Amino acid sequence: MTVLSLCGIVVSLQQTLLLPLLPELPALLDTTADNASWLVTATLLAGAVATPTVSRLADMYGKRRMMVTALAISLAGSVLGALSEIVPLLVTARALQGVGLALVPVAIAIMRDELPRERVPLGVAIMSATLAVGAGIGLPLSGLISDHLDWHAIFWLTAVVAAVLLVAAVTLLPESPVKTRGSFDFRGAILLSVALTALLLAVSKGSQWGWTSTTTLGLTAGGLAVLAVWIPLELRTSSPLVDIRVAARAPVMLVNAVSVFAGFAMFTNMLVTTQLLQMPEATGYGLGMGVLETGWWMVPNAAAFGLMAPVSAWMTRRWGPQLTMLSGTAIMAVAYVARVFLSGNLTQIVVGSVIVGVGTALAYGALPTLIMRAVPVTETASANGLNVLLRSVGTSTASAAAAAITSASAILVGGQVAPTEDALRLSLWLAAAASVGATVIGVPTLRMRAYAVEWDRAGTERIGAETRVVRGSVVSLTGDPIRNAVVTVLTPDGEAIDWGQADSEGRFNAAIPRPGDYLVITAADGWQPRSRIMELDDTLPLPPVVLRERLTLSGVITDADGEPVADALVVLTRASGEVVRTIRTDHEGRYLIPRPTNGRYVLTVHSREGAMGARPVTVWEAARSVDLTLGTPLSS
């Protein structure tokens, strides 16, 4: 826990140490402010691209291996930055440092694998808190360095800490036995990287380029177009970079949506608080502090994060991560509304910032636990990687919103451009709205239940060296793969172990604590489910799980006299209008259609004599039998 948490602090230091120096960088580097801003943008883009890629590789090839790799890349970036004087090399260095953002989801996944179940919430809460703690340390530390040392010391500091942690990771962290293997989705990684780069460039640079400029709109449209291509490709890929099937499950979608809003609200707190502290007193609201003094007054916020980590873990164990998350977002919402009216002096500003930090700590500590409850063990790192990425999207959006509001209402005070007080109030209102949105979206998660990993009761305290990842497939009687089948693994006594969802080739993975007999339940939409006791062991070939009976929608079509209507056209359409299937009745007036997915449909029949008939059909879980009597034939 110590090594992993320190890795989180390093990531946060790399993100924040340079931020207070941004106003001075154009003079230090003899460049423009726009060019200097790329030192921040490069880190954001590299982190966004690296997070889903590194976390997926961690699930496939080993979490410690990817932790070490990401730390080594971040170390290389710090050394390059410490030795560089020109902008292109410094931008490259900052991009390499950005890869370190992927350490967070991988570290959380290691905690799930290695810690006893009752200690996982504490580990996850501390890991989430380290991001704020690192930011709190970074701001005053940056001020001290700028006052007493050359600015390159920022890179040397992160290089030394990263080197120490790299040695600690190699020597102290165990390699997780949970590996899915398979082939890496290079096509998906490239397309997602292109889409994220385009969209985040538009968001982060839109205030400089103009929100309606050709460049900004073109990047936005291009990014969305690439995403539109990427999603169906991922659904057809046997080992996708991001498992869209798992990410599209309602619990995962809800938690990820909360993460976007929570990220927006969290970052707004830092942006507005630093502006209130640093803006000149002549603005009527600013306190006129320097970088170092501002950094010191941000420390209480970071301290609140650290102190609330065990509280968040205790609440998660006592009442569940859902209530912990909702408590946090609700506290954030109330605090932001209060800050709109109570930001007139130093005490109000700091106390308001700390209360928002308390709510954020509770919410951030619960989010990874909720994700882990909703995904298979074998998807832990990649699912948390997507969650961390979406939090970054929220923070980037908050930064873009603040820049847009500032540029639209800027005033000149003592030769310094500053936002108006109304602009800062608007930012606070937006953060309050985001917090309320996170709370409302999070309410349905109260119905969530853990899908897997009650391993303590199954006889194993943690995922250890005996863990096995079994791989199998789900097929029909003819040997065709059945996509999207869900395979649930339980002990013979009914204790949940893990679950997996079949990919486009019908293949699935599931983690088990030890070889042995397990109850395997397989279900797929449109098929009769199957349950059986199976011997699971990764050293033995697992026979395919065969679903034998396809559920159907069937019935008999008769005329007004009760006689069967042969060769009649039967059309099944969705209630929204799309055609699902067309077929003709046999000589006995019967039709048989593979049962479609759950939903509301319309069954329409047209005989060769011109008789028509239609009726609504609701399909839910089981096979359906729907008969229909046709009306009088239509006249010519």
CA dist 28 and 21 (Å) reads: 10
pLDDT at position 632:
52
Give the mean model confidence (pLDDT) for residues 71-91.
90
Determine how β-strand 545-547 pairs with β-strand 496-501: unpaired
pLDDT at position 280:
82
How would DSSP label each residue in 99-134?
GGGGHHHHHHHHHHHHS-GGGHHHHHHHHHHHHHHH
Question: Would you tell me how many other CB atoms lie within 10 Å of the CB of residue 571?
Answer: 15
pLDDT at position 432:
94
Fold match flag (468-547 vs 552-629): yes
Q: Phi first, then psi: give them for residue 543, nearest 5 degrees.
A: -65, 150
- What residues does 628 pair with on adjacent strands? 557
List the domain boundaries for the chain: 2-184+239-447, 468-547, 552-629
Using the predicted structure, report yes or no on whether residue 464 has a pLDDT greater than 60.
Answer: no
Using the predicted structure, report yes or no on whether residue 633 has a pLDDT greater than 60.
Answer: no
Q: Phi first, then psi: give them for residue 212, nearest 5 degrees.
A: -110, 15
- pLDDT digit string (tens) for 397-412? 888 888 778 777 767 6
CA dist 72 and 54 (Å) reads: 13
- What sign results for the dihedral spanned by CA atoms 76, 80, 82, 83? positive
Using the predicted structure, report yes or no on whether residue 36 has a pLDDT greater than 60.
Answer: yes
Give the mean model confidence (pLDDT) for residues 303-318.
86
pLDDT at position 451:
45
CA dist 330 and 316 (Å) reads: 16
Confidence of residue 619 (pLDDT cuts 50, 70, 90): confident
Confidence of residue 458 (pLDDT cuts 50, 70, 90): very low
- What sign results for the dihedral spanned by CA atoms 572, 578, 579, 580? negative
Which of 304-313, 351-360, 469-478 holds the top average pLDDT? 351-360
pLDDT at position 503:
80
pLDDT at position 163:
92
The letter for the amino acid at 469 is: V
- pLDDT digit string (tens) for 3-28? 888 888 888 887 777 777 777 778 77
Confidence of residue 352 (pLDDT cuts 50, 70, 90): very high
CA dist 449 and 331 (Å) reads: 24
Confidence of residue 461 (pLDDT cuts 50, 70, 90): very low
Alpha helices in 210-249 (DSSP H): 214-236, 244-247
For residue 452, give every residue at least 6 positions away whose Cβ sits within 8 Å of its Cβ, in sequence order, or none.
376, 377, 489, 496, 497, 498, 499
CA dist 13 and 145 (Å) reads: 13
Confidence of residue 454 (pLDDT cuts 50, 70, 90): very low
Using the predicted structure, report yes or no on whether residue 375 has a pLDDT greater than 90.
Answer: no
> Which tokens go with 209?
């380029």
Instruction: Decide if 516 contacts 467 (C-beta within 8 A).
Output: no
- pLDDT digit string (tens) for 154-169? 889 889 989 999 999 8
Terminal CA-to-CA distance of the chain, rounded, Å?
80
Q: Is 284 left (phi over 0), alpha (psi -120 to 50) or beta?
A: left
Higher pLDDT, 191 or 293: 191
Using the predicted structure, report yes or no on whether residue 508 has a pLDDT greater than 70.
Answer: yes
DSSP state of 481: B
CA 309, 312, 317 angle in degrees (round to 5)?
Answer: 125
The letter for the amino acid at 234 is: E
Q: Which CATH class is domain 2-184+239-447?
A: mainly alpha
* 3-state DSSP assignment of residue 597: coil
- pLDDT digit string (tens) for 567-590? 999 999 998 888 989 999 998 999
Furthest-apart CA pair in the chain: how many Å?
99
Confidence of residue 114 (pLDDT cuts 50, 70, 90): confident
- pLDDT digit string (tens) for 276-309? 888 887 777 888 887 778 878 888 888 888 788 8
Higher pLDDT, 151 or 462: 151
Angle between helix axes 380-408 and 250-278 (nearest 10 degrees) is: 40
Using the predicted structure, report yes or no on whether residue 453 has a pLDDT greater than 50.
Answer: no
> Which tokens go with 429?
């209102």
pLDDT at position 636:
31
The CATH number of the domain covering residues in 468-547: 2.60.40.10
Q: Which CATH number fits domain 552-629: 2.30.110.10, 1.10.3430.10, 3.40.50.720, 2.60.40.1120?
A: 2.60.40.1120
> Which tokens go with 586?
């046999």
Q: Is 472 left (phi over 0), alpha (psi -120 to 50) or beta?
A: beta
Instruction: Decide if 633 contacts 560 (C-beta within 8 A).
Output: no
The letter for the amino acid at 630 is: L
Q: Which of 55-69, 98-112, 197-211, 463-477 comes out lowest in average pLDDT? A: 463-477
pLDDT at position 452:
43
Give the mean model confidence (pLDDT) for residues 83-98.
89
HEC string of 394-408 equals: HHHHHHHHHHHHHHH
If we measure between CA atoms, which residue out of 155, 141, 139 comes closest to residue 89?
155
Cα dist. 267→12, 133, 286, 316, 442 in Å? 13, 14, 19, 24, 19
Average predicted confidence (pLDDT) for the chain? 84
If we measure between CA atoms, which residue out of 557, 567, 536 comes closest to residue 603?
557
CA dist 370 and 357 (Å) reads: 20
CA dist 181 and 240 (Å) reads: 12
How would DSSP label each residue in 524-561?
-TTB--EEEEEEE-TTSPPPPEEE--B-EEEEEEE-TT
CA dist 381 and 476 (Å) reads: 31
Determine how β-strand 569-574 pairs with β-strand 599-606: antiparallel
Using the predicted structure, report yes or no on whether residue 173 has a pLDDT greater than 80.
Answer: yes
Instruction: Decide if 38 contacts 88 (C-beta within 8 A).
Output: no
